[in-house]
Structure 1
Amino acid sequence: MSLQDKYKELTDLANNLGISNLEVREQDNVLYIDGTAKSAANKEELWNAYGKIDPEFRSADVVMNIAVVEREATEYTVKSGDSLSKIGKLHGVSWQDIFEANKDLIKNPDLIQPGWKLKIPTM
């Protein structure tokens, strides 16, 4: 079985996630997967899929070099009565994108505080 066959589920997932500049090549018994993910969550999803195929990461037959798109961001100061959904609608982005961009500040997406300065990702 070739490495591309062994890791077909992983490369299919990369395609389904829309990994840009995706390059899959096999060289010296190692499968190299390169590309750029739209979010850190997509990159983590790829690593989780790899972990299901090789749970202890012992095969040492895959090298994944997946970058994450750096998104520009604007700043928004949370007001009383705001929610991530409300802020997202105001800026045309999902609440999940705002949450992902502010994980260092937001521990629970249902609990945000007036006065917090949030990064609002833009494309």
Structure 2
Amino acid sequence: MSLQDKYREVTNLAEELQIADLQVREHGNVLYIDGTAKSALDKDKLWNAYNKIDPDFRSADMVLNIDVAEGVSREYTVEVGDSLSKIGKAYGVSWQDIYEANKDIITNPDLIQPGWKLKIPTV
């Protein structure tokens, strides 16, 4: 089995996530996957897919070199009655992406407070 076959799930996911400047190449019995993810969440999804195939990354036969694009272009101040879903819908992003971008202040995505300044990730 070739390395590209072994890690097909990771490369397919990278394409599905629309990793920018995606490059997949094999050199010296190592598969290199390079590119830029739209968000840290997408990058984590790739690492999780890799870990499913090679638990604890012991094979050392793949290098996942994924950068994250500058992901914050706006800031939003939470108002009474807001939810992450409502804010996400207004900006065209998922509530999960907003949550991931603001884990430093949000401990529970169902409980946000008026006055909080949230980073809104780019789409």
Report the TM-score when normalising by structure 1: 0.89
Distance 1:80 1:20 in 2: 37
Distance 1:35 1:29 in 2: 20
Distance 2:122 2:19 in 1: 18
Q: Unpaired runs of 5+ in structure 1?
A: none
Which residue does the alignment assign to 1:91? 91
* CA displacement at 1:52 relative to structure 2: 1.1
* CA displacement at 1:89 relative to structure 2: 3.0
8 Å Cα contact 2:39/2:71 also seen in 1: no
Within the alignment, does 1:4 sit opposite 2:4 as a pair? yes
Which residue does the alignment assign to 1:116? 116
Report the TM-score when normalising by structure 2: 0.89
Which residue does the alignment assign to 1:34? 34
CA 1:19/1:116 → structure 2, altered by over 3 Å: closer, same or farther?
same
CA 1:35/1:111 → structure 2, altered by over 3 Å: closer, same or farther?
same
| Worse-matched range after superposition: 90-99 or 100-109 | 90-99
| Worse-matched range after superposition: 29-38 or 1-10 | 1-10
8 Å Cα contact 2:36/2:67 also seen in 1: yes
Q: Flag the structure with larger Rg.
A: 1
**Backbone CA RMSD of aligned residues:** 1.6
8 Å Cα contact 2:41/2:97 also seen in 1: no
Distance 1:90 1:14 in 2: 27
CA 1:27/1:122 → structure 2, altered by over 3 Å: closer, same or farther?
closer
Within the alignment, does 1:66 sit opposite 2:54 as a pair? no
- Which amino acid is 2:77 matched to? T
Which residue does the alignment assign to 1:16? 16
Q: Unpaired runs of 5+ in structure 2?
A: none
